[in-house]
Every structure is written in C-alpha cells, then in structure tokens.
C-alpha cells in the first residue's frame, strides 16, 4: 500500500517519478537470500495504466542511480519498475475511488468478521471506508485495515482477437 512505503524511500523515488510525468502507486523492498528486490509501480497522471515500457526503463535507470548514490538499499539488489497491469494494484485512496463498480480482491491486516480475504464489487469508497458487495451483502472495510488490494480483470473474446483482423473483414479481404 502507498501509505506503507517508508518515507525515506518515497522521498527518493517520488520526485524522479514525478519528473517523468508519472505518479508513484506503490513501492516495496523485499529481502531474500540473493539480495534485495525493489519493486516500484508507476502510473500515468490519468491513472489509465498506459505507461510505455521505454518510460518504465527510463524511470528505472534514474531511480537505480539514486539508490546507488544514496546507498539506501543493501547490495546486491534487483530493481523492477512497472505499470499497474491487468490485476491493477489499488494502493491509494484515489485508486479505490476510480475502481468503483469493478470487481476487486482485498486482503485485510487482521480478520474482520472472521475473514481476511474479500472478493466482490467495489460499491463505494467514502469516509475512509471501502464498501464491497460480497456474496449479495455489503461489507464495509476501513481503508486503514487494507493490507493488499487488486482490481480483478475479466478477459473477453476481444482480448484474444488477432490485431488487424477487423480491418481485413471490413475491407472485404477473406484471407
């Protein structure tokens, strides 16, 4: 979650991301036996997830330079900069507000009514509460209790259509 990004890391990353005309959605550092993994998620200011790969690479190079200069991450480390993707991570209040009407998965920090995982339609986000319709009933989850949340993408036949197929059909090409 955006609010869980350590302030020192956010202060280093956010200006770089902003200079590239993007917004920081989330960042985390995980440590393993092979070193650290720094995962950064960025989005356009429009919040449409359409961040070109080249832009992610530019941001990655610049952030890598800053991380190396500051020595804020133990070496060796691997750096990943990506856009939100199909299973869009909901990390900021504005992400939840924009996902209203969509299906989402939420994991809470501790059990609420005996469960930590919820999946349903995001009905509303207001007053610090995420309201979901789960199994026909409405559930209210305090935003501060959300540990992880993602929008659920539903594939359609159009997702698997070959590019240009419609243009050939429209032009009368029967190949």
Inside any domain, residue 158:
no
The CATH number of whichever domain residue 74 belongs to comes to: 3.30.70.1350
Structurally, the chain folds into a number of domains equal to 2
**What does the pLDDT look like over 2-40, one tens digit per residue?**
778 889 899 999 999 999 999 999 998 888 888 889 999
Residue 127's φ and ψ, nearest 5 degrees, are: 60, 30
Both 56 and 123 in one domain: the answer is: no
Both 54 and 16 in one domain: the answer is: yes
**What does the pLDDT look like over 137-150, one tens digit per residue?**
999 999 999 999 99
Can you give the pLDDT at residue 175? Answer: 43
The CATH number of whichever domain residue 120 belongs to comes to: 2.30.30.180
Range of the structural domain that residue 109 is part of: 93-151
Inside any domain, residue 147:
yes
Inside any domain, residue 127:
yes
| DSSP state, residue 172 | T
Both 16 and 59 in one domain: the answer is: yes
User: Which of 128-137's residues contact partners 24+ apart within 8 Å by CB, and which partners?
Assistant: 130/96, 130/106, 132/104, 132/106
| pLDDT > 60? residue 172 | no
Q: What is the sign, positive or negative, of the torsion defined by CA atoms of 133, 137, 140, 143?
A: negative
Both 119 and 143 in one domain: the answer is: yes
* The pTM of the whole model exceeds 0.85: no
Both 69 and 113 in one domain: the answer is: no
Inside any domain, residue 117:
yes
Residue 57 Cα distances to 52, 83, 105, angstroms: 9, 11, 29
Both 18 and 47 in one domain: the answer is: yes
């Amino acid at each position: 979650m955006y609010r869980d990004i350590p302030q020192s890391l956010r202060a280093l990353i956010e200006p770089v991301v902003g200079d590239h005309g993007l917004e920081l959605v989330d960042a985390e550092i995980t440590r393993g036996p092979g070193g650290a993994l720094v995962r950064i998620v960025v989005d356009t200011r429009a919040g449409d997830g359409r961040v070109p790969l080249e832009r992610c690479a530019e941001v990655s190079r610049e952030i890598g330079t800053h991380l190396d200069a500051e020595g804020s991450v133990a070496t060796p480390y691997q750096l990943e900069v990506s856009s939100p993707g199909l299973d869009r991570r909901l990390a900021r209040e504005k992400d939840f507000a924009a996902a209203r009407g969509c299906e989402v998965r939420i994991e809470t920090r501790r059990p609420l009514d005996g469960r930590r995982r919820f999946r349903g339609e995001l009905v509303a986000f207001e007053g610090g509460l995420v309201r979901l319709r789960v199994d026909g009933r409405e559930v209210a989850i305090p935003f501060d209790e959300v540990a992880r949340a993602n929008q659920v993408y539903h594939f359609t036949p159009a997702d698997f259509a070959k590019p240009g197929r419609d243009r050939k059909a429209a032009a009368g090409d029967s190949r």
